[in-house]
Amino acid sequence: MAKSNVANGATLFSSLAIETLLIHMLMSNVIDKAMHL
């Protein structure tokens, strides 16, 4: 039970980190395009 909780926590954390990274990349891309306009 505890092991699956740790695994779920790790999966949730990694997916959250990936989402944050994707949003960050998207935002910096948008800002970069806006700067060049």
Q: So what's the pLDDT on residue 29?
A: 96
Q: So what's the pLDDT on residue 3?
A: 82
**CA triplet 16, 4, 15: central angle to 5 degrees?**
10
Q: So what's the pLDDT on residue 25?
A: 97
Q: How many domains does the chain have?
A: 1
* pLDDT tens column, 1-37: 578 898 999 999 999 999 999 999 999 999 999 998 7
Give residue 37's identity as a one-letter amino acid code: L
Q: So what's the pLDDT on residue 36?
A: 87
Q: So what's the pLDDT on residue 1?
A: 58
- What six digits make up the tokens of 37? 């306009």
For tokens 């944050």, the residue is 20
Range of the domain at 9: 1-37
**pTM surpassing 0.85?**
no
